[in-house]
Amino acid sequence: MVYINSVSFEKNLVFIVFFIIFILNLKLINMVTILNVIFAILLSILLITPLVLLIIILNRTNVKSGIDPSVIKRLEDMDTTIANDTNNALDQVQIKLEDFEARLADLEEQRTNVKGFKK
């Protein structure tokens, strides 16, 4: 997305307006000619842009998919394999964490307070 700096845009717009007034004062171009040029530019933009976009859309929709179904099947199989391997690894990590928590709980139960240290 393009953001227009409003200060520079306003400065450029003021410059363009003063330039048009200067040209009109020199009697080189009359106002009708300027309006005709502006109208022609706007009309050409309004007519050409939709046509170009339509051509781009039509070209993209007419492109045939050249992917072999066997390739898609292999990719799906690889995806399934990766998902299964990941699930197995996470199950192993969960088992190890549960074992670790059980050993930690046993150590907590065996812990005794140290007595002594006379003052």
pLDDT at res. 114: 60
Which of 49, 20, 50, 53 has its CA nearest to residue 37? 20
pLDDT at res. 119: 59
Whether the full predicted model's pTM is greater than 0.85, yes or no, is no
> Are 23 and 29 a contacting pair, CB within 8 Å?
yes
pLDDT at res. 102: 92
Query: If the chain, 119 residues long, is cut into consecutive pieces of 10 residues, what is the mean pLDDT of each piece?
Result: 55 76 69 81 85 88 77 93 96 95 85 64
pLDDT at res. 85: 96
- What letter represents residue 119's amino acid? K
